[in-house]
């Protein structure tokens, strides 16, 4: 266990030390600030009591909603892009740099290697999601202030309850990113080109969003990974719509299991030459 934790720590330090990952995190955190400033410059303050008001409409009434709005926007492209970038380095990056054979000769079993790599990807996605939420809260509260929140159902809840729902929403977003990371890990076992992994994962995510937006294909929408990614908005209803959230987590878990098993099968039979 101690060796596994040391291996995981080394993997996380390596991920955090890459300049492109640092730049990507800054981009993720800058979008909530941009949204908040743009609304401050262009919008007329609203009272925030509309029952059907969206997160962006609510920001001027309570800055905490900047975090919800940022998560809604970034889950469509920027957060999946970040997972795609890091996934490319998981196995393919090690193979390209020639360190994969060294890792396996330490010795590190292939199953253990994949488990640590995947856990590092999950933690990276979690950090990215919370960085977006924290940046949104900080920017929104500084510009618009805070207090009790108006839910999407039109009722009022205390600030502490609203922040707790934001934490749950962020964890829900991170769960979706963890499922996408399993897809990325699988693709990463198939090639020695990190950029190829990044492109494939981005295309996979983007194509799923496109298909999910076509009404004529609604029969397959529930099976798409991204179909319920924005269901965290239902946590800001009164009472929260746990059914949709639970269904989304079920889909995330299914994708994670299937693609992790596929990654294990692929990597276990792979002839590592670099």
Q: Looking at residue 104, what is its pLDDT? A: 63
Position 274 in a domain: no
Q: What does each of the 274 residues of the chain score in pLDDT, given as a tens digit?
A: 777 788 889 889 999 999 999 999 999 999 999 999 999 988 555 544 433 347 988 999 999 999 999 999 999 999 999 999 999 988 888 777 767 766 665 556 788 889 999 999 999 999 999 999 999 999 999 999 999 999 988 899 999 999 999 999 999 999 999 999 999 999 999 988 999 999 999 999 999 999 999 999 999 999 999 999 999 999 999 999 999 999 999 999 999 999 999 999 988 876 555 5
Position 194 in a domain: yes
Domain count, the chain: 1
Farthest CA pair distance, the chain: 63
User: For residues 212 and 233, is the Cβ–Cβ distance under 8 A?
Assistant: no
Q: Residue 48: left if φ>0, alpha if ψ -120 to 50, beta else—which one?
A: left
Position 80 in a domain: yes
- Please provide the DSSP assignment of 165-213 as one string: HHHHHHHHHHHHHHHHHHHHHHHHTS-S-HHHHHHHHHHHHHHHHHHHT
The string of pLDDT tens digits covering residues 32-64 is: 999 999 999 885 555 444 333 479 889 999 999
Position 227 in a domain: yes
Position 229 in a domain: yes
Neighbours of 164 (CB within 10 A): 13
Among 163, 173, 182, 178, which residue's Cα sits nearest to residue 230? 173
Q: Which domain holds residue 51?
A: 2-268
The string of pLDDT tens digits covering residues 143-170 is: 999 999 999 888 999 999 999 999 999 9
Position 273 in a domain: no
- CA 254/CA 162 separation, integer angstroms: 29
Position 222 in a domain: yes
Position 75 in a domain: yes
């Amino acid at each position: 266990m101690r060796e596994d934790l040391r291996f995981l720590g080394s993997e996380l330090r390596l991920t955090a030390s890459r300049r492109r990952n640092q730049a990507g995190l800054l981009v993720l955190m800058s979008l909530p600030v941009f949204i908040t400033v743009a609304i401050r410059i262009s919008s007329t303050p609203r009272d925030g009591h509309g029952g059907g008001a969206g997160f962006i409409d609510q920001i001027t009434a309570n800055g905490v909603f900047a975090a919800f709005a940022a998560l809604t926007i970034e889950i469509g492209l920027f957060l999946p892009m970040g997972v795609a970038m890091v996934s490319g380095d998981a196995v393919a990056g090690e193979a390209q740099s020639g360190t994969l054979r060294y890792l396996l000769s330490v010795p590190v079993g292939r199953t253990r290697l994949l488990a640590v790599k995947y856990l590092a990807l999950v933690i990276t996605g979690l950090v990215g999601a919370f960085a977006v939420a924290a940046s949104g809260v900080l920017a929104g509260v500084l510009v618009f202030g805070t207090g009790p929140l108006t839910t999407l159902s039109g009722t009022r809840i205390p600030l502490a309850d609203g922040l707790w729902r934001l934490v749950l929403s962020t964890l829900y977003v991170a769960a979706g990113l963890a499922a996408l990371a399993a897809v990325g890990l699988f693709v990463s076992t198939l090639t020695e080109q990190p950029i190829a992994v990044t492109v494939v994962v981005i295309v996979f995510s983007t194509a799923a969003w496109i298909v999910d937006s076509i009404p004529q294909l609604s029969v397959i929408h529930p099976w798409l990974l991204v179909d319920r990614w924005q269901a965290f908005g239902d946590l800001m209803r009164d009472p929260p719509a746990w059914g949709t959230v639970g269904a989304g987590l079920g889909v995330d878990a299914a994708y994670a299991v299937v693609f992790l098993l596929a990654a294990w099968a692929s990597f276990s039979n792979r002839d590592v030459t670099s």
